Amino acid sequence: MNESIVLIDTNVAIYFLNDTAPYAKKVENWIVRDRVAMSVITVAELLSKSVQEENQRIDRLLSTSHIEPVDIAIAKTAASMRRQMLGRKNRIVLIDCLIGATAMQRKYVLATADRKGFPFKELKFAKFR
């Protein structure tokens, strides 16, 4: 069986680092099976919010993850996603568009604790329950 890679959103990464159920156990399972990916956007968000004591745990997570850069295809997809949401009540920020576009372009499953923040039917989501 060809198991999907899971792109973890920043909130899931933070829950993992804080050992919050059910996210921590699920992410650990994906790490053991070499199924975790993160956008460079998530990496930047984690590092910008971290304190010195968290850096070792963050480094472990980064070293066991496939880190995805933002390329032109991802940027174009993110821009299209953002344009779709302009003028709507529930807008989406560009950072989330970049993360969602990474999942779409790479055909990854997105692991997020905020599915409402990614209102795009093309995305596939990880289940935590």
**Which tokens go with 123?**
């995305």
* Nearest-angstrom CA–CA distance, 106 and 93: 20
Q: What angle do CA 50, 47, 85 make, to 5 degrees?
A: 110
Domains in the chain, start-ordered, CATH in brackets? Answer: 6-69+107-117 (3.40.50.1010)
Instruction: State the helix-helix crossing angle for 94-106 and 72-85, rounded to 10 degrees.
Output: 130
* Nearest-angstrom CA–CA distance, 9 and 39: 8
For the chain, the maximum distance between any two Cα atoms, rounded to a whole number of angstroms, is 42
Model confidence over 16-74: pLDDT tens digits? 999 999 999 999 999 999 999 999 999 999 998 877 677 888 998 999 999 999 999 99
Model confidence over 75-109: pLDDT tens digits? 999 999 999 888 777 778 899 999 999 999 999 99
The reported pTM is 0.91
Q: How many CB atoms lie within 10 A of CB 67?
A: 13
